[in-house]
Structure formats: structure tokens, C-alpha cells
Amino acid sequence: MKEELIIKYIQNDLGPDARNKVQEWIAQSEENERRFHELRDAWVAALYSSESAGFNADKAWDTFISKVKSQKKQRKIAKAMKWVSASAAAVAVFAVGLFGLMNNAPEYHTHSFADNETLELPDGSSVTLNEESSIKYPEKFLASQREITIFGEAFFEVAPDSEKPFVVKAGDYRVKVLGTKFNVKKVRSDIYEVYVTEGKVAVFLEGKENEAMILLPGDLAVLGENNESRLAHVGNNYLSWKTDELVFQNTSLHEVLDVLGKHYNKKLIADESIKNQKLTTRFKDKTLSEALNTIEIIFDASIEYEDNYIVVSANSPPDNEKQKE
């Protein structure tokens, strides 16, 4: 497995197919799992170790990549020359350096790819982190403001404090509130989304608060496209990663499968004979198998499991419209 692919997986920059390949590779052996955790832990340490120079996720990652490539080249040379002792010493130095780096880094919270969790911040605010997301926050907030840094996706419920604004650092962008509920998501390396469910927030590029975009409940802002911000449409299932609930209203089956695929990180395909059939239903706390079983019954369909995708096809000619109320 190429380290570049694993790195993109850690950055959440892969589509469902590529993510599945990495997850399958991780599960193949303890050695693969160990290597994955080494890369992820090193990235987290690098991400939060340069606060004095100003937080910059992309710069931290570039530095990390250079170190990984340099270490890889050095390992090859050491192996070719059979410098066993030198190689062992290099590994020891790297391990000690990584240990020191992580222990000197500011406090942060990180998750593996299989879980999410809600935690309480020092001011009483709460944050729910999506899988492969992390957050950094001080043991005690400053007197002037409450500032945290995230990497990935998180949902915030901010405790009101008119004297101390709550600021989320997401790449080059800042999200500033006094008390509200909102979601911040890294879509790609330079694209972020902010979705507000309650209250009001201001989003802006660092140092340009006077050009802030104000978001109200129901607003979704897309940030980072040519350093511009725009409002976008929000689907019913934007926060499904947090609520574990998917709702469909007269939705075509191919759209339903697309949403399910993103939610469960699996590629789902609807056969031409059935893809335009409509579905109205709600899945709450369901596994992918349970959701597909419901679809199988409603549409009299068959489910075929291939290596990297799942196909839903009709057993018999479908009605013009078939749905579950």
C-alpha cells in the first residue's frame, strides 16, 4: 500500500472506493495496522507541534511528508549497506523524537477511524467529533476568548458567554460565536463547510473579520474556493454521521443509495430497471445490511455483494412508483 494513499485516508481526502481499499489493507495484518497507527500518530503530533510559528495544517503535513520520505530513503540505504546497528539507532532516535514531540504538544483529542465521541470543553461547551477527526484546546481558556483548533469534522454546542467569544480555527478560516450549535467539516485540504442549526455565527479568513459572512440557522457556507465563501443547499441527512438517522422523502433509489454509500463508506449501485423508483422512509440506528434488507423487501429487489461494491436490482418489473410511507 502506497504511503501517499494512507496519508490521504488520514486527511479524509479519499472517496468511498479508495477508503475501502485502505481499510481492507489495514485489516489484512497486524503489521499493516501498526504502520497505519504510526503514520496517524506522527501526523497528529506534527499537526499540533508548531503552535509558536502559527498553526498551518497544510504546512505541517508537507513537513511530515518530507520526513516520511526521508526516513524511507534512509531505511533503504541502511538495508542495502547492512548497517543494522545504524538502522536500529535511527529507529530509536525517531521513536524518542516522536515521543518527545507528542508529549510536548498542546493538549488535543484524537479518534481512530471507527468511532466518534462527545466531550465537554473547559467552559461547559460540548463537541462531537466525527471519525478520523481531532481537536486541540487548552486546559484553561484565555480571558479574552475561547479558541480551539479542529482537523476533520465536528459538531459544537457552545455555552453562551457574551464576554468571551468562542473561536474555531479550521485551516485559514475562523468561525466565531457567542453561543450556538453548528457543524464544521473539512471537505478537502482547502475546502471547509460550516452548517448552523441554532444561533448565529460569523465565518471569515484569518485577519479579515471585517469581511465575515454571517450564518443563521439552516445556512450552509462553503469556504475556500478561491478564498471565497458561498451559501449552499443542505440535504436532510447532512448531520447523519452524528444523529445516525437517514430520512428520505419521495427520493429516487439511486439517490438513496448514493447517500447510504457515503454514510457507510461503501459503493452502492442501482440497476437501470429500478434506479428511478421512489422511496419514502427513515433509517434510525440501522446497519447497512438492515437498510438494504428494507430496500430489498420494499422493491422486491435482490442484493448482490461484489468485492468493492453492492448492486441492487429488481427481481420483477417494477411498478411506476413504489414507496414506504
The reported pLDDT for the residue numbered 253 is 93
The values of phi and psi at residue 62, to 5°, are -60, -40
* Long-range CB contact pairs, 205-210, < 8 A, 24+: 205/172, 205/173, 205/174, 206/169, 206/172, 206/173, 206/174, 209/174, 209/176
CA 214 to chain centre: 24
Mean pLDDT of 27-45: 72
pLDDT grade for 167, boundaries at 50, 70 and 90: very high
**E strands present in 63-138:** 108-110, 117-120, 126-129, 134-136
Rounded to two decimals, the pTM is 0.64
User: What domains are defined for the chain?
Assistant: 3-105 (no CATH), 110-232 (2.60.120.1440), 240-314 (3.55.50.30)
Per-residue model confidence as pLDDT tens digits over 105-161: 444 444 333 467 788 888 999 999 888 788 888 888 887 889 998 888 899 999 999
The values of phi and psi at residue 292, to 5°, are -70, -35
Per-residue model confidence as pLDDT tens digits over 47-100: 555 444 444 555 555 556 565 655 555 444 444 443 333 333 333 333 334 343
- Sequence-separated (6 or more) residues with CB below 8 Å from residue 175: 167, 168, 182, 184, 194, 201, 202, 203
The reported pLDDT for the residue numbered 88 is 37
The reported pLDDT for the residue numbered 137 is 85
pLDDT grade for 265, boundaries at 50, 70 and 90: confident
CA 101 to chain centre: 24
